[in-house]
């Protein structure tokens, strides 16, 4: 679809202006006319989101290009505005969307919560910290097959049908019980595990599905966390968990883990928010253990070295079974994520999965870290993702049970 309109001569600064819109299929032009009337003569990006739950939306991208024509008589140039519109939807808008209320159920949350946090206390009431650390960071034991069987077909694929739109009912907490419900904290933890952790275990290591982990499910989980925080409905207090019978140590481990969507964000403001959350928990651990986090001394140095994250994960968590040792290491892992975002504005190792071209600085970083964290993609898959990104296409999630 193309529209040709005359452009006033004083608007000659509008060149190569791009904007993104979510517009109602049946009212496409009327939604576009108003935003075009507000376009800045300075050529700044205009972003307009028209979200109405009752309507089916297209994601539309258009560029306003300034062309010039001349007459043989006086060779004067007259600007012509060309508006190119391309539908950016990976799934047919006529296809029925799944009813998420029948998918994100209490029974599912119960099952996923047990898969995400499978540890129990020892007979003496203590935790096996090393077992927990190995499970969370080394994938031992590896629950990927169980997660795939429980979530891929039944949950993640149905949610992905909404892509690239973020289901607002999810991020608003509509599929969660009331915050006064005793099981509310566990339900929130389960939903975040579905959106943030499960795609990482299933899709982020290789193949075209990795784009969904970083480009779609991450977006949903970020928005969910920030929405719940804004509503004072995020169960991020130790008391909320100890009331459910968890020990202090268990409560802090679980509480720390639900902030991972903020750590995985490429928005530096989320990392600033995370810094405050981490510091609050760090102080609780210091008081509880009677020790000062030894990594406070390295924090300024860590903030200058974006390779520290890879070094920490490659070395793995402490071999000891000490709660404070593990938590201080975990806080450092969280903190050094911000160093990468501060330096590059994004995680360079996600570039191939998101169809982004790496800068020379990012290429050096990837070489220094042996491409740590970068999904395994063939050259053909990399080109395919870039092409799909340019065209606004999201290829449906592929099936493939982990080996």
Domain boundary among 87, 115, 136: 87
Same domain flag for 244 and 332:
yes
| pLDDT at residue 315, as a whole number | 96
pLDDT of 73 above 70: no
For the chain, report the end-to-end CA distance as a whole number of angstroms. 45
pLDDT at 121 over 70: yes
In a domain? residue 177:
yes
Say yes or no to pLDDT of 11 above 50: no
Task: Tell me: do 222 and 158 sit in the same domain.
Answer: yes
| Cis, peptide link before residue 141, omega less than 30° from 0 | yes
Q: Verify that 104 and 77 share a domain, yes or no.
A: no
* Residues 300, 170 share a domain: yes
CB 166 within 8 A of CB 227: no
Domain boundary among 52, 87, 122: 87
Out of 87, 113, 147, pick the residue that ends a domain.
Answer: 87
| Residue 94 confidence class, pLDDT cut points 50, 70, 90 | low
Q: What percent of the chain has pLDDT over 90?
A: 74
| Whole-prediction pTM | 0.79
How large a percentage of the chain has pLDDT more than 70?
Answer: 76
Mean pLDDT of 22-26: 37
Q: How far apart are CA 333 and CA 82, in angstroms?
A: 49
Q: Which pLDDT belongs to residue 96?
A: 80
pLDDT at residue 68 is higher than 80: no
Residue 28 has pLDDT above 50, yes or no: no
Three-state SS at 58: strand
User: Is 229 found in the same domain as 109?
Assistant: yes
Q: What is the distance between the alpha carbons of residues 169 and 89, in angstroms, rounded to a whole number?
A: 20
Is residue 391 scored above 50 in pLDDT? yes
| Span 105-118, average pLDDT | 98
Q: Higher model confidence: residue 7 or residue 353?
A: 353
Q: Is residue 17 helix, strand or coil?
A: strand
Residue 64 pLDDT exceeds 50? no
State which residues form the domain around 279.
Answer: 100-391
Q: What is the distance between the alpha carbons of residues 268 and 266, in angstroms, rounded to a whole number?
A: 6
Residues 261 and 116 in one domain: yes
Number of domains in the chain: 2
Which tokens in the block code for residue 165? Answer: 């739109």
Residue 346 pLDDT grade (very low, low, confident, very high; cuts 50, 70, 90): very high
Does residue 26 fall inside a structural domain? yes
Closest CA to 253 of 141, 105, 112, 137: 137
What are the pLDDT digits (tens) for 296-307? Answer: 999 999 999 999
- pLDDT single digits (tens) 240-290: 999 999 999 999 999 999 999 999 999 999 999 999 999 999 999 999 999
In a domain, 231, yes or no: yes
Q: What is the pLDDT of residue 403?
A: 83
Predicted local confidence at residue 52, as pLDDT:
32
Tokens of residue 105, six digits: 């159920």
Per-residue pLDDT of 182-223, as tens digits, reads 999 999 999 999 999 999 999 998 899 999 999 999 999 999
**pLDDT value at 171 more than 60:** yes
The per-residue pLDDT for 336 is 98
Specify whether 214 is located in the same domain as 109: yes
Decide if 402 is inside a domain. no
Task: Say if 142 falls within a structural domain.
Answer: yes
Both 54 and 198 in one domain: the answer is no
The verdict on 240 and 157 lying in the same domain is: yes
Phi, psi of 321 (to 5 degrees): -105, 25
400 inside domain: no
Average pLDDT, the chain: 82
Is residue 183 one of the residues assigned to a domain? yes
Does residue 166 surpass a pLDDT of 50? Answer: yes
Q: Residue 133's pLDDT is what?
A: 97
More confident site: 45 or 90: 90
pLDDT band at 401 (very low <50, low <70, confident <90, very high): very high
* 117 in the same domain as 7: no
Residue 29 lies in a domain: yes
Q: Verify that 83 and 168 share a domain, yes or no.
A: no
Same domain? 106 vs 83: no
The pLDDT of residue 160 is: 97
């Amino acid at each position: 679809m193309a529209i040709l309109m005359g452009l006033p001569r004083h608007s000659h600064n509008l060149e190569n202006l791009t904007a993104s819109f979510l517009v109602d299929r049946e009212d496409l032009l009327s939604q576009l006319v108003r935003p075009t009337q507000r376009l800045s003569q300075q050529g700044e990006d205009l972003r307009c989101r028209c979200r109405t739950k009752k309507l089916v939306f297209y994601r539309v991208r258009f560029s306003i290009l300034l062309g010039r024509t001349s007459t043989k008589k006086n060779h004067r140039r007259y600007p012509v505005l060309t508006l190119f519109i391309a539908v950016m939807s990976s799934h047919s808008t006529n296809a029925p969307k799944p009813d998420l209320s029948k998918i994100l159920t209490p029974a599912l949350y119960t099952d996923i919560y047990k898969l995400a946090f499978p540890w129990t206390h020892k007979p003496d009431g203590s935790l096996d910290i090393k077992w927990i650390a190995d499970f969370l960071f080394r994938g031992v034991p590896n629950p990927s097959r169980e997660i795939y069987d429980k979530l891929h077909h039944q949950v993640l694929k149905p949610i992905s049908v909404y892509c690239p739109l973020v289901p607002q009912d999810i991020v608003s907490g509509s599929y969660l019980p009331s915050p006064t419900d005793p099981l509310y904290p566990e339900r929130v933890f389960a939903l975040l595990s579905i959106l943030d952790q499960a795609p990482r275990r299933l899709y982020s290591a290789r193949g075209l599905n990795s784009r969904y982990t970083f480009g779609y499910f991450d977006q949903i989980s970020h928005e969910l966390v920030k929405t719940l925080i804004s509503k004072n409905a995020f169960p991020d207090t130790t008391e909320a968990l100890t009331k459910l019978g968890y020990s202090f140590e268990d409560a802090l481990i679980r509480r720390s883990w639900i902030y991972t969507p903020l750590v995985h964000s490429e928005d530096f403001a989320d990392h600033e928010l995370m810094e405050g959350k981490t510091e609050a928990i760090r102080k609780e651990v210091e008081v509880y253990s009677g020790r000062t986090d030894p990594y406070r001394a390295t924090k300024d140095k860590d903030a200058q070295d974006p390779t520290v994250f890879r070094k920490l994960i490659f070395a793995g968590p402490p071999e000891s079974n000490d709660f404070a040792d593990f938590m201080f290491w975990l806080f450092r892992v969280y903190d050094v994520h911000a160093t990468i975002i501060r330096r590059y504005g994004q995680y360079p190792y996600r570039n191939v999965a998101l169809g982004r071209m790496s800068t020379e600085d990012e290429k050096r970083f990837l070489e220094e870290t042996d491409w740590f964290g970068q999904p395994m993609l063939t050259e053909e898959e990399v080109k395919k993702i870039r092409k799909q990104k340019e065209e606004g296409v999201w290829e449906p999630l592929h099936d493939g049970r982990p080996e």
